[in-house]
Each structure stands twice: as structure tokens, then as C-alpha cells.
Amino acid sequence: MQRSRFWRFPALLVVVAMLLAACGSDAEEGPAAGGGGGDEPLKTVKIGVIAPLSGSLSALGSGIRNSVELAIRQANEENKVKGWKIELAAEDDTAKAEVGAQVATKLASDNAVAGVVGTLNSSVALQVQPILARENIVMVSPANTGVELTQGTDPKNKKRQFDNYFRVATTDNIQGPFAANFATKDLNAKNVVTIHDKKTYGQGLVAAFTDQLIKNGGKVVAAETINPGDQDFAAVLTKIKPLNPDLIYYGGEYPEAQLLTSQAKAQGIKAPLMGGDGIYDKTYIQTAKEAAEGDYCTSVGAPTEELDSAAEFVEAYNAANFKEDFAAYGAYSYDAANVIINAMARVLPEAQAMTPELRKKIVDEVAKTNFDGVTGKVAFDEFGDTTTKVLTVYKVTGQEWKAAKTDEFK
């Protein structure tokens, strides 16, 4: 019995050794942790998102975040940035400039952050831009339309504001005139009331619309303002009603616009409301209901669902089972994320860690961007603005936003 026990022990050691060797062989032949395909762990790089993920504009912000997350997932699956794993660092700016500045500072202090997709609001971007610029972190916005973000405040002396800032959405000095052309030429609107919310986006949009409207022979019979967060517009609407306008043009976002159009119709004002991309969300219709019928808005690019180039994005987004729709800026956020990912793929493979020098190289590579994206051609001019000037007018028909006209502004 004792001899047999000693005989089994070395035999057991041999079996264990063979099993360990087999396990070691599998580990060497399989992919490294994170799917890198080598025996070294992947390094980590981050793409930040700054957008309203809570509050009244969260429907738009969530679409931005989810679309960036989708682009990151796909890039990691394809090992697009060799030797690196991309992580999402999403921050909620609550659509407030001061909060945007705080979360931008947080992202800027993280050495792993190579770029940021955002913001939604131009007023927030004004605070975020300089913070990210100090650290050479590239910022690509899917939604900012305020002209001053790239060209400054003097239209006769345009000057690039920050070399790290780019956007894939066209600007208010394109969107405003595009809307004015539709208003005067397609709707035959001559007498128009304008209203804006005093924010950077709304104010700039109305100014650009007004200039083109007057050039086209139209007239602004009243120029009114409201405050963000207002819910009772009786005072403004009482002044507007006797003017019997052909159109109310609103510069702002859907939380106020949806109440404004509801209260206008309740007062017997028959003029449709028209706005920019800030009201292009199903929430506008869900809140205003029948009062929204016949209203208009403009939004950047062509309808995502109608673009052949966007078919795979739409399919992949739906398959990812996000709780929220990709909304107005999902496709643009996806393209914005891929702008950064493509630049990282050219800069990072030989690098061992993120550095300020690498961040600057990524900015330089983003400036060279030229590819066919989900939304169409993606490229930037000398100011960091998109070279694409396609927009769409949407009309609320049967309680849905339906494309009325898609064209390139010339």
C-alpha cells in the first residue's frame, strides 16, 4: 500500500504539469487581454463626451452619447487603434455653460483623454473650448452652430478661435439664411415675428435669418425675446396677435418652443412656428400635440433614415438596444467620434502612453480629415467648420417630422 501511494504521487505531478503546459500554450496562442492579439495588455485611451445627459435636453444629449459609444465599440472590435483600447468618458453638462466648464476641466485633467465629442449647446461650447485648448485636446462638435465659435464675432474679419475645435454640423450663418429662403420663397411669408431665448445659439440663428429675410423682401414686424426656462408666454403672444404674422420664427430649443406654439394656437394665432435644429426632436410634437401640426424646422444635413450612407449606422444603433433614440445628432456624433478615432489610429500605434505632444498630433491629423461618413463627406475648412452645407426643412405632418425640402445652401 505504501509503495503504491508513492507511485501515484509522481504520476499525478506529471499529469498536472501536462495540464499546466496545455493551459500555457492556449494563453500564448490566444489574444491578449482586451483583444490585442499579442502578449502585451492594451493601453487605454479615452474619448470624452460633453452633452446634457439629464434635464429637458437629455433626449438630444443621450443620442450623442450613445452614438459615440457605438463608434467606440466598433473600433475596439476591429482593433482600429493598434495596441490601444478606447474607453468612453461621458460627462453631463446639464445644458449649462458653468457645468460644461467644470466637466471640461475634469476631462482635461485626465491624461488618458485624447479627444472630446460635444457640446450640444453653443453657449456651453464657449466655456469648454478654451479649457480643452490649453491641453491640446481635440474637440469635435456634432451640433454647435454658433458662428463665433470658429470665426469670431466680426464677420468682416474672420479669425480662427481655437486650433483644436472642429464641427461636423453647419453653422447659423448657413442655417438661418436657408430657413429665410424657404420662408419667403416656399411659404411666401412676408411679415414675420422673430423670438429668441437670448442664448448664443438662438440669438445668432435669428440674426442670420433676419438678414436674409430682409434681403428677400420680407419684413420683421416684431422682434421679441424670452428667457430660457420660461413657461408662460402670454405677454409676448398678446403683443404678437394683432400683427397677424405669416410666420413666427423662433431661435432656441424645444422645451420653450413646444409651449410657445401651444399657447400661440390657444390664443388663436394661426401662423406656424418655425425654428432651427434646436426644436427638431419628437419631444416637441409629443408635448405640443395638435398645436405642432404644420410647424417647421430646419436641421443639418439630409434625413438620416433616407441616407444610403447611414443604413449600417441605423441598423447597428438599433441592434445595440440603447434606451434612447439617436435623435437629431446621432449620426453626426458617430461621424465626430470616428474623426477622432481615425486620427488616433494614425498617431497612437507606436506610442507607449498619451502625452501632450501626441494630443497635438491628433489635433493636426483631425485637421486633415477627409472621408465619407454616415452623414456624407466629412472634411473641415480653415476655420474648423464642415465643408458640407446641406440642410433639410422638416414639417410636422400627421404628428411626425417629415422632410419637406433638402438642399445645399449656396
What is the identity of the amino acid at 380?
F
Q: What is the pLDDT of residues 361-383, one digit of tens each?
A: 999 999 999 999 999 999 999 99
CA atoms of 403 and 311, how far apart (whole Å): 17
pLDDT at 152: 97
DSSP string over 219-287 = EEEEEEE--TT----HHHHHHHGGG--SEEEEES-HHHHHHHHHHHHHTT--SPEEE-GGG-SHHHHHH
Q: Is the pLDDT of residue 34 over 90?
A: no
Q: pTM here?
A: 0.88
Q: Per CATH, the architecture of 173-300+392-408 is what?
A: 3-Layer(aba) Sandwich (3.40)
pLDDT at 27: 33
DSSP strand pairing (401-408 vs 390-396): antiparallel
Q: What is the pLDDT of residues 128-181, one digit of tens each?
A: 999 999 999 999 999 999 999 999 999 999 999 999 999 999 999 999 999 999
For 70, other C-beta atoms within 10 Å of its C-beta total 22
Q: What is the mean pLDDT of the chain?
A: 92
What is the identity of the amino acid at 276?
G
Q: Which three cell numbers stand for residue 155?
A: 464677420
Which residues 6+ apart lie within 8 Å of 71 measured at CB? Answer: 333, 334, 337, 338, 341
CA atoms of 131 and 333, how far apart (whole Å): 21
For 371, other C-beta atoms within 10 Å of its C-beta total 11
CA atoms of 400 and 153, how far apart (whole Å): 37
| Fold: same for 43-169+308-379 and 173-300+392-408 | yes
pLDDT at 17: 41
140 touches 115 (CB < 8 A): yes
Q: What percent of the chain is predicted at pLDDT more than 90?
A: 90
Which residues 6+ apart lie within 8 Å of 371 measured at CB? Answer: 338, 342, 377, 378, 379
237 touches 193 (CB < 8 A): no
383, HSE (Cβ side, Cα atoms, 13 Å): 20
CA atoms of 299 and 409, how far apart (whole Å): 12
pLDDT at 40: 73
249 touches 195 (CB < 8 A): yes
Residue spans of the domains in the chain: they are 43-169+308-379, 173-300+392-408
> What is residue 165's three-state secondary structure?
strand
Cell 449600417 belongs to 312
Positive or negative, the CA dihedral 258, 182, 210, 161 is positive
User: 336 or 3, which is more confident?
Assistant: 336
Q: What is the pLDDT of residues 179-225, one digit of tens each?
A: 999 999 999 999 999 999 999 999 999 999 999 999 999 999 999 99
Q: What is the pLDDT of residues 236-286, one digit of tens each?
A: 999 999 999 999 999 999 999 999 999 999 999 999 999 999 999 999 999
DSSP string over 59-109 = HHHHHHHHHHHHHHHHHHHTT-STTEEEEEEEEE-TT-HHHHHHHHHHHHT
pLDDT at 28: 32
Q: Per CATH, the architecture of 43-169+308-379 is what?
A: 3-Layer(aba) Sandwich (3.40)
pLDDT at 29: 32
Q: What percent of the chain is predicted at pLDDT more than 70?
A: 90
